[in-house]
Chain A
Amino acid sequence: MDESDNRTFWEYLAYVSEHQSPLDFVLVWDHIDRFLWGTLLTLEITVIALILGGILSVPMAIARAYQHRWLNFPIWCFTYFFRGTPLLVQTYLVYYGLAQFDAVRESFLWDPILSSAWWCALIVFTLNTAGYTTEFLRGSIATTPSGEIEAARACGMSAWTTIRRIVLPSAFRRALPAYSNEVIFMLHSSVVLSTITLQDLLGAGRWLNGRYYLAYEGFVTAMLFYMVLVFIISRGFKFWEKHWLGHLRQREIEDEPVTLKAG
């Protein structure tokens, strides 16, 4: 009897996967835990950066929208810098650039914060998303329908109460579609993590490629994971948009056209 007949199904599958399949899926499956850990790191940094960046962006957007005398220009510079330069360059600048200076390496910030790739990434990602979010939130605040503000004044609301109770809730809702893009872009940009030694989702793929000298397996697997994540995020935002922007949807036209009778 041929020796190959004694193989278990699993051994057979591993053989097909390595020698006949264009993609060695058994190898990927053997290391799927690395991809799951990678997903966790990708989500961890992306989500924390989005939350912190989002919180930072609200006061900055208000200052920009109302063109605050002292704050408007510095905040404009800040957003211009972070929106005008690639995230990869910003990350390299903080991770490799700052480490060149003895003063930085000897400062109190070095040991827990700047020496760690995780913190460097979080700082850069937070400021980057804050830059983008500030600008479209500013646009959203600035385009608040004047009628809503007049109505608030007429009810006797102060300027701050108007912002808090009328302008911001309305602006947040209208900024929601733009924000869903920002969240997805941020997830995509998080691949920068793997260039500064962090084992994110792409890092796991590059580890697999590097360890077994492969070209596709690691990337394709990482890609599938990203697609699933983006699918979940975009479904979530669809749901929220339906919920929060319901009042802006066009009403459905009734079946019977209304005919006006000449009186």
Chain B
Amino acid sequence: MSIKKLLFMVVAFTLASAAAQAAPLRVGVEGAYPPFSWKEPDGTLKGFDIDVAYEVCKRLQRECVLVEQEWDGMIPALLSRKFDTIIASMSITEERKKKIDFTEKYYDTPPGIVAKKNAGFSQSNMAGKRLGVQRATTHQCTAEKMFPGAELVLYASQEEVFQDLASGRLDAQISDSLQASEGFLKQDMGKGFAFLGDMISDPGCQGVGAGFAVRKKDTLLRDAMSAIIKGMRDDGTYKILNDKYFEIDVYGK
């Protein structure tokens, strides 16, 4: 086969696959953030984010390919086209918007601090305490800004943070309040732990809720998915998925 012919075929194939709506939507997910996403022993992914991802694919009429990715490599992986969108509880912040683009929010819950019941310290008194946080989250930003005196301990996944909090290596941890309550406090591991003080308000670091992330040029996909979120809110699909996992409406105001 001549080079020209080969080149032609490659170009034709690329154009054809770009045109076909049936091209699968590759979705970056984490799988270590229950109840939003977790992995069953048999390897299947479950959770609110996963259900939402499948619903989005269904409405886009595209096949869903879930791609698991460690959290601190999420944005680089999106930019290097390992997948087309991130549906993994990623908060919409100004800092991230420098690199990528977001749909409208699909849920919004505040961060909170978890420590032992009767921990003997408070949010205003965190100096010298070992504070666990997942690396590359909005909570890393909040922790550095609001608790500069605390000793920050960084982890690759939220599950590791909870493990070390339970084993006593950490004095406290900061993460999404809903995720902490469902994924830790209500589990066996979280016995004897509670939220330390009120939920935290830090719009600077936390942004305006979690959205689906896309590359900056993919405005079509972004707008289509924003419309889907609105559609799900309007026709009650959102409520069905929401009630499967949560007692409150996680969409927020």
**Interface of A with B (CB < 8 Å)?**
96, 99-100, 105, 110, 115-117, 195, 197, 199, 203, 206-207, 209-215
| Inter-chain contact A215/B156, CB cutoff 8 Å | no
| Inter-chain contact B140/A99, CB cutoff 8 Å | no
| Inter-chain contact A105/B154, CB cutoff 8 Å | no
CB-CB contacts below 8 Å: B117-140 with A: 135-137, 140
| Inter-chain contact B155/A210, CB cutoff 8 Å | no
| Inter-chain contact A213/B96, CB cutoff 8 Å | yes
| Inter-chain contact A96/B163, CB cutoff 8 Å | yes
| Sample (20) of A-B pairs whose CB atoms are under 8 Å apart | A96-B163, A99-B164, A99-B169, A100-B167, A115-B167, A115-B168, A115-B169, A117-B169, A195-B156, A197-B164, A209-B72, A209-B76, A211-B136, A213-B75, A213-B95, A213-B98, A213-B136, A214-B76, A215-B73, A215-B80
| Inter-chain contact A210/B140, CB cutoff 8 Å | yes
A96–B169 CA distance with the chains assembled, in angstroms: 11
Residue B216 is within 8 A (CB to CB) of chain A in the complex: no
If A115-B169, A215-B76 touch, whether A210 touches B154 (CB-CB below 8 Å) is yes
Among B75, B95, B153, B168, point to the contact of A105 (Cβ < 8 A).
Answer: B168
A116 — which chain B residues lie within 8 A by C-beta? 169
A141–B163 CA distance with the chains assembled, in angstroms: 45
| Inter-chain contact A213/B169, CB cutoff 8 Å | no
A215 — which chain B residues lie within 8 A by C-beta? 73, 75-76, 79-80
If A195-B156, A211-B136, A213-B136 touch, whether A206 touches B72 (CB-CB below 8 Å) is yes
| Inter-chain contact A99/B163, CB cutoff 8 Å | yes
Name the residue of chain B whose CB is nearest to the CB of A199. Answer: B154
CB distance from A119 to the nearest CB of B (A): 12
A212 — which chain B residues lie within 8 A by C-beta? 95
| Inter-chain contact A211/B156, CB cutoff 8 Å | no
Q: B137-171 interface mask toward A, CB cutoff 8 Å, 1 = contact, 0 = none? A: 10011001000000001111000100110011100
